[in-house]
Amino acid sequence: MSDCLFCAMVAGETGTVGVYDDDVVFAFLDHRPVFKGHVLVVPKTHVVTLLDLHDVGPYFERVQAVTRAVMAGLDAKGSFVALNNVVSQSVAHLHTHVVPRNPKDGLRGFFWPRTTYASDEEAREYAAKISAQMS
């Protein structure tokens, strides 16, 4: 879709910091991460909700691989993996949040604090750590 931000990211039309890219998904750093290393995984085909996704298995295999890479690349003890359908969905394109977690990291319930990267270089460093685990 020409007016979809995530479709533009998939097409390489934005300055998004990518983490993983194949024929099924594009994964990239969230520009307002809950914690540094927060990744969004989107299907390359434009679908709005999980209910619209026809081939669920390959999508979630990639979400699982990205989750593993986030944890290993950032030495995170756990993860928070979530998606919204319509309500609280900031972009009308299916996306799954993969957030690195550690004990006592301050995340409580659904009150998601947001942070920023100190620089584009720092964001690229986080992306490189995660990408290196995707082989």
> Which amino acid is present at 90?
S
The catalytically annotated residue of 38, 93, 95, 97 is 95
Q: Is 95 a catalytic residue?
A: yes
Q: Where are the alpha helices (DSSP H) in 75-119?
A: none
CB 113 within 8 A of CB 107: yes
Helix (H) / strand (E) element for 78: namely strand 78-82
- Can you tell me the distance from the alpha carbon of 135 to that of 133, in angstroms, rounded to the nearest whole number? 6
| Residue in the block written with tokens 């520009």 | 31
Beta pairing, strands 25-29 & 39-43: antiparallel
Residues with catalytic function:
95
